[in-house]
């Protein structure tokens, strides 16, 4: 196998593991008024989520792309 293929495979695997780790320790269930902006005006849901952030465009006047928050102990 070529080194490029191995590099890409390792990168994809690492990103997948990172996503799994985030889903176990962080949540996107954030009250709208407590959201901390994680994007820029006009960011797409895909671009937002690729940056490890949460996207929810259902509430106007608050950030749609925002940082996840840590899960509480025992949750």
Domains contained in the chain, CATH given: 3-70 (4.10.110.10)
**pLDDT higher than 60, residue 62:** yes
What does the alpha-carbon distance between residue 17 and residue 59 come to, in Å, rounded to a whole number?
30
What is the average pLDDT value for the chain, to the nearest integer?
83
- Which of 3, 16, 5, 45 lies closest to 28, judged by CA? 45
pLDDT of residue 4: 78
Helix (H, G, I), strand (E, B) or coil at 47: helix
Cβ-based neighbour number of residue 63 at 10 Å: 20
The mean pLDDT of 20-25, rounded to a whole number, is 62
**pLDDT higher than 80, residue 35:** yes
The mean pLDDT of 53-72, rounded to a whole number, is 95
pLDDT of residue 73: 61
What does the alpha-carbon distance between residue 64 and residue 55 come to, in Å, rounded to a whole number?
5
**pLDDT higher than 80, residue 16:** no
């Amino acid at each position: 196998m070529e080194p490029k293929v191995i590099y890409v495979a390792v990168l994809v695997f690492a990103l997948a593991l990172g996503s799994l780790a985030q889903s176990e320790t962080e949540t996107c269930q954030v009250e709208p008024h407590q959201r901390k902006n994680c994007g820029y005006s006009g960011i797409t849901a895909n671009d937002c989520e690729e940056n490890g952030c949460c996207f929810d465009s259902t509430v106007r006047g608050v950030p749609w792309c925002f940082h996840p928050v840590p899960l509480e102990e025992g949750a």
